[in-house]
Copies of this chain bind each other. A is one copy, B any other.
């Protein structure tokens, strides 16, 4: 299962990101490798939730009861806001489209169940709410995105109440910054122009890695076949030999097709191939991974369970795990996948194609996660899309600094709340 070459590349980068703080990741991972895989017990998740709850309760002696949950339209962006019975608030920016498409599940099965709960128990609330009614049957990205969005806002609340970044509750800080890759989301416009945009963001941020799209998203047809075959060598030529390249297939290929593309990617020294096959098809991912010699296979953006990530590691379907902190049910559940990755000696590179306020929550997780591999995602054009109503989300010298302001670490212009409309409230 272990490919030493791939593995070492992963942990070396993780090590390089820890900057001035002690690095436990490499030691733990190396230790894990000493034990032959087949006699290891499956990872049981350890005591992460209990440890976090203990830290939170050490900071707050009394319960912090959640009074209401609201989805707020500020005209700039949708926000999820949590208010406790004393009127203290935590917020997170949220994905409006995902919310609208999944509203019943988001509000009725997920969000409203947090009302009346003690926010100090937030690390374990997602586990508890899963046992409500028949919630466990309805899980998926829509359910866990609802749970995750509320959980993230609760961490903002707790951090602000304690006047500390949220990550201080999550574990010992192991890094203060981390290297980013520039993530392109474009499949339709001419690739030459998109390459120009990517290289401008590279120049503005000092980043040394790029991810771009291959295949057609859930299909492998023309013009995407030709575009892929042309763009990969073109990108290598334009970026030069010193830039790390990654690609994202978004479920485009069968295993056989993906293996053919993989050969071409390896010829151009692409270092990971994200979601080559339909995301649910772990067996095909395993076949592609088994065929790889230098390129890592990554995935997990839509996955929403500890068990599925455990399975990826156990059967060797992925070299690198990529949960999304929102879709996967929040910061603690995502951090747990980093611990899982550390246990199995695989990579951890969360999905987060953001350059705005939604980048804050993953950043808080990165501060403490034992394994963090490759580079982390930063959206192309982020240098131009910064808004005057929030503190900047902008890497320098290729690195993003972990926010140090209280809560999630994003500071908002208080004016944005003046035009707010409450779109949904647990009180109505």
Residues of A within 8 A of B (CB): 42, 97, 100-105, 108-109, 130-131, 133-134, 136-143, 218-219, 251, 255, 278-284, 287, 301-302, 305, 307-308, 310-311, 314-315
Q: Tell me if B307 and A282 are in contact (CB < 8 A).
A: yes
Once bound together, how far apart are the Cα atoms of A134 and B283, in whole Å?
A: 23
Known: A105-B105, A283-B307. 15 other contacts (CB 8 A): A97-B134, A101-B104, A103-B104, A136-B218, A137-B141, A137-B301, A138-B142, A139-B280, A140-B140, A140-B141, A140-B142, A281-B307, A281-B310, A283-B314, A311-B311
Chain B neighbourhood of A219, CB < 8 A: 131
Which 4 A-B pairs have CB atoms at the shortest separation, nearest pair first?
Answer: A140-B140, A281-B307, A280-B307, A103-B104
Q: List 20 A-B contacts (CB under 8 A).
A: A42-B283, A42-B287, A101-B109, A102-B105, A105-B142, A130-B218, A131-B218, A136-B218, A136-B251, A137-B301, A138-B140, A138-B141, A138-B142, A140-B140, A140-B142, A281-B310, A281-B311, A283-B307, A283-B314, A283-B315
Chain B neighbourhood of A139, CB < 8 A: 140-141, 280
Q: Which residue of B lies closest to A103 (CB)?
A: B104
Q: Tell me if A138 and B218 are in contact (CB < 8 A).
A: no
Chain B neighbourhood of A311, CB < 8 A: 281-283, 311
From residue A378, how far is it (CB to closest CB) to chain B in Å?
21
Chain B neighbourhood of A101, CB < 8 A: 104-105, 108-109, 133-134, 138
